[in-house]
Amino acid sequence: MLKGLIFDVDETLVYYEGYTLRRWYDNVATPVMKKLGVFVDWDTFKKIIEGKLSRKYVEKFGIDHVEFWKALDRANRTYRENLLKAGKIKPFPDVDALKELRNMGLKLAAVSNASQDNTELVLRAFGLDKYFDIILGKDYTYLDGVKPNPYLVNKALRLMKLRPDEVLLVGDSIRDILAGKRAGVKTVNIVRFEKVPGADYYVNDLWELVKIVRGLTCPR
């Protein structure tokens, strides 16, 4: 029986006007790398973000990988704060469905590849944090544990005290779906921008998710 849901945050619950990873790399990451005296080219950076290369890769440039990613996360904090002030981060109009899911007695977790403070910043900005029992950002003790690695999903399961077969993972990207599959969790692809292969369920919005959840929690 379904007892919990794990949600991705960015592009699943909230969206960023004008954001692309390439623009973020050019406008946020590149200035930080210049200050650090480290340069990771775009193709390599993209492979790291996609989980195809370890985040420790940057140590070949003579910098501790934790310090490198913390520096980028500090810049990302400023970036997010500025976007919030400009009204360019917005919740999707269907996030009210979280209240309905919460009222069904389910445990809810939010799991993001962003840092803990950057994840909490965005959720708090729209009052979404109140719906979640658990909020997890990247773990600096194991930076390669970000999605598509199942590490953060498994961590959420432990904290929720639920088995993989009692939970659905909801996300918009292939990284979310892979992380869920690797943790043994059934997955829901919310098709915000593109349909990704391999999910167990597909929905266009969170209200469609509510219908699926009702069917799994109140089987006929």
Q: Tell me the pTM.
A: 0.95
Whole domain around residue 50: which residue ranges? 21-85
Q: What is the pLDDT of residue 219?
A: 55
26 contacts: CB under 8 Å, gap ≥ 6: none
Mean pLDDT in residue range 147-162: 98
Q: Are residues 9 and 97 in the same domain?
A: yes
Domain boundary among 85, 115, 138: 85
Q: Are residues 98 and 76 in the same domain?
A: no
Q: What is the pLDDT of residue 4?
A: 97
Q: Are residues 119 and 188 in the same domain?
A: yes
Q: Are residues 131 and 212 in the same domain?
A: yes
pLDDT digits (tens, 9 = 90+) for 29-61: 999 999 999 999 999 999 999 999 999 999 999
Closest to 149 (Cα-Cα) out of 116, 117, 113, 107 = 113
Considering its fold, how many domains does the chain have in total?
2
Domain of 155: which CATH number? 3.40.50.1000
